[in-house]
């Protein structure tokens, strides 16, 4: 491609002469520039990791890791400071478990419905409708949890407080149904028809085909969507800040106010905590914990998908 018979022509030729040197340098310039743009994503990751490590290390110079992991109270903003991260982790775990108990079964069933049962015309409408649900800002879900779901649940659950993990977790679950449904549906839809027909030929009913052939074939994609949903539930902030309260408390009672890791970060960010103070550093330590949890999930998902991916021609 670079060899160019035209360039040997005399310069007074009437023939059009492309400026090869210029276009070549433009090509190189563009390529380098765009490679740098792509590198911005790597810089972002480095930035996140450095930011978190830098402040976390400073935090652990003042508070021992042992105290961080074993204290049973979380009171960094009081004079009697205690730093039991388990308090925040237990709350995050509680809301995530509630959310996942809602989102995984419903999301998977919705995915099966979209991929296997819904007629093509209806599917064309259902998928965008679910995308609308996915596009609702989480602050709106928070409003919904606090002012609609909680009063509704309070009518038949006595002793339920205004801020609680249950309604926040339920609404959080609903908010991630579209994520599970959409990603799992992609995985189910890409399972080739021949596999289903093979199962029918052996005398399976539709449900048996779906459960024993289609679901296992799409397993890696489904698990990937589950893990993404779990990591979304753990990292979700606004629903939990608004509806679950700001009350750090160790335990798994879903009817009382609690405080998740993310809600704590918001609480401190909203106040006037001076940069460099211990309270300021705690949000980075909490952020680091959150980041490590989601990173672990991510790596597991990556490994799982590579290990169990089924390839069809």
Q: 67-86: which residues touch another protein (CB under 8 A)? A: none
At residue 78, what are phi and psi to the nearest 5 degrees? Answer: -95, 170
By CB under 8 A, tell whether 126 contacts another protein: yes
Q: How far is the CB of 41 from another protein (least distance, A)?
A: 5
Of 36-44, 60-68, 81-89, 194-202, the window that binds another protein (rule: CB under 8 A) is 36-44
Residue 206 beta carbon to another protein: minimum distance, rounded to whole angstroms: 6
Report if residue 207 touches another protein, rule: CB under 8 A. yes
Residues 256-285 that bind another protein (CB under 8 A): 262, 265-266, 269-270, 275, 283-284
- 106 is a site residue for another protein (CB under 8 A): yes
Which CB, 69 or 139, lies closer to another protein?
139
Span 39-68, contacts to another protein by CB under 8 A = 39-42, 44-45, 47-48, 51-52, 54-55
**Residue among 54 and 252 whose Cβ is closer to another protein:** 54
Report yes or no: 163 and 243 within 8 Å, Cβ to Cβ. yes
What 3-state DSSP class applies to 267? helix
Task: Please state, in angstroms and as integers, the Cα–Cα distance from residue 103 to each residue in 20, 21, 115, 143, 184, following that order.
Answer: 57, 58, 17, 19, 12
- By CB atoms closer than 10 A (0-12, 13-18, 19+), residue 118 is middle
* C-alpha to C-alpha distance for 18 and 16, rounded to whole angstroms: 6
Identify the DSSP state of 8: G
Q: Is 136 in the site for another protein (CB under 8 A)?
A: yes
CB atoms within 10 A of CB 307: 8
CB 175 within 8 A of CB 242: no
C-alpha distance across the termini of the chain, in Å = 34
Judged by CB under 8 A, which stretch of 16-24, 63-71, 193-201, 212-220 contacts another protein? 16-24
Residues 239-258 that bind another protein (CB under 8 A): 241-242
| 160-179 residues near another protein, rule: CB under 8 A | 174, 177-178
Compute the least distance from the CB of residue 62 to another protein, in Å: 18
């Amino acid at each position: 491609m670079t060899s160019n018979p035209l360039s040997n022509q005399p310069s007074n030729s009437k023939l059009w002469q492309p400026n090869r040197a210029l276009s070549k340098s433009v090509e190189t310039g563009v390529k380098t520039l765009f490679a740098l743009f792509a590198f911005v994503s790597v810089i972002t990751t480095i930035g996140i990791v450095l930011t978190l490590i830098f402040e976390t290390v400073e935090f652990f110079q003042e508070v021992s890791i042992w105290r961080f992991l074993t204290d049973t109270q979380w009171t960094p903003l009081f004079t009697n400071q205690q730093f039991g991260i388990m308090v925040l982790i237990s709350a995050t775990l509680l809301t995530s478990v509630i959310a996942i108990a809602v989102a995984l079964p419903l999301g998977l069933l919705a995915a099966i419905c979209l991929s296997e049962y819904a007629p093509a015309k209806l599917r064309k409408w259902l998928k965008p409708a679910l995308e609308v649900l996915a596009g609702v800002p989480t602050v709106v879900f928070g409003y919904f949890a606090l002012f609609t779901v909680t009063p509704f649940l309070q009518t038949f659950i006595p002793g339920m407080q205004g801020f609680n993990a249950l309604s926040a977790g339920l609404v959080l679950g609903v908010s991630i149904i579209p994520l599970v449904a959409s990603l799992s549906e992609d995985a189910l839809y890409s399972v080739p028809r021949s596999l289903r027909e093979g199962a029918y030929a052996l005398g399976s009913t539709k449900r048996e085909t779906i459960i024993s052939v289609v679901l296992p074939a799409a397993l890696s994609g489904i698990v990937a969507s589950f893990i993404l949903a779990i990591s979304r539930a753990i990292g979700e902030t606004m629903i939990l800040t608004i509806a679950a309260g700001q009350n750090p408390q160790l335990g798994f009672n879903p009817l009382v106010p609690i405080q998740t890791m993310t809600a704590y970060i918001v609480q401190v960010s909203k106040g006037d905590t001076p940069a460099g103070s211990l309270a300021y550093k705690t949000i980075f330590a909490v952020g680091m914990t959150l980041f490590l949890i989601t990173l672990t999930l991510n790596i597991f998902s990556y490994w799982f998908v590579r290990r169990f991916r089924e390839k069809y021609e």
